[in-house]
Structure 1
Amino acid sequence: MKNKYIKSNIFPIFIELLFVVSCFIVEKQFYIYTNFCFYLLLAIYFYIRKDLSIKEWYNAIKSGKKFFIQVIFTVVLISIAFYFTIILENIFPNINKGMILLRADNWLKLILFTFSTIIFPPIIEETFFRQNLISFKNNKILIFTTFLSMFLYALEHSLRLWGIFLCMIWALLFSVSYIKTRNIYVPMTAHLICNLIINGVLIIDVIKYILN
Structure 2
Amino acid sequence: NLKEWFLSFRSGKKYWIQVLLTFLGFMLAFILTTILEGIFPGLETGTINLRRDTWLTLGVFAISIILFPAITEETFYRKNLILFDSKKTVIITTILSMFLYACEHSLAPWGIFLTMIWALPLSLSYIKTRNIYVVMTAHFLGNLLGNGVDVILTLIHWL
CA-to-aligned-CA distance 1:54-99 (integer Å, 9 cap, x gap): 1110111110000000000111111111111111111111111111
Secondary structure of the corresponding residue to residue 156 of structure 1: helix
Aligned partner of 1:86 in structure 2 is 34
State the TM-score, normalizing by the size of structure 1: 0.73
Structure with the greater alpha carbon radius of gyration: 1
CA distance in 2, matches of 1:205, 1:87: 22
- The answer as to 2:14 corresponding to 1:66 is yes
Tell me which residue corresponds to 1:175.
123
Counterpart of 1:124 in structure 2 is 72
In the alignment, what sits opposite 2:92?
Answer: 144
CA RMSD of aligned residues (A): 1.0
Distance in 1 (CA, whole Å) between partners of 2:39 and 2:60 is 33
In structure 2, give the amino acid aligned to 1:122.
Answer: A
**1:117 counterpart letter in structure 2:** I
The one-letter code matched in structure 2 to 1:186 is V
Pairwise CA distance, 1:206: 2.0
Q: Please give the per-residue CA displacement for 1:128-158, whole angstroms capped at 9, x wherever unaligned.
A: 1000011111111111111111011111111
User: What percent identity do the matched residue pairs reach?
Assistant: 56
1:55 aligns to 2:6 (yes or no): no
Find out whether 1:75 has 2:59 as its counterpart: no
Could you give the per-residue CA deviations for residues 168-210 of structure 1, whole angstroms, max 9, x where no partner exists? Answer: 001011000000000000110000111111111111122234x
Query: How many residues in Structure 1 have an aligned counterpart in Structure 2?
Result: 159
Q: Which residue of 2 aligns with 1:154?
A: 102
Q: Which string of whole-angstrom CA distances, capped at 9 and with x for unpartnered residues, describes residues 111-144 of structure 1?
A: 1101111110100110010000111111111111
Match of 1:189 among 137, 144, 151: 137
Letter in 1 for 2:57: K
Could you tell me how far apart the structure 1 residues matched to 2:106 and 2:72 are?
17
C-alpha separation in 1, matches of 2:82 and 2:48:
24
**Gap regions ≥5 residues in structure 2:** none
Q: CA deviation at 1:110?
A: 0.9
- Structure 1 alignment gaps of length 5 or more: 1-52
The structure showing larger relative contact order (alpha-carbon pairs under 8 Å, at least 6 residues apart) is 2
| Aligned AA (2:2) | I
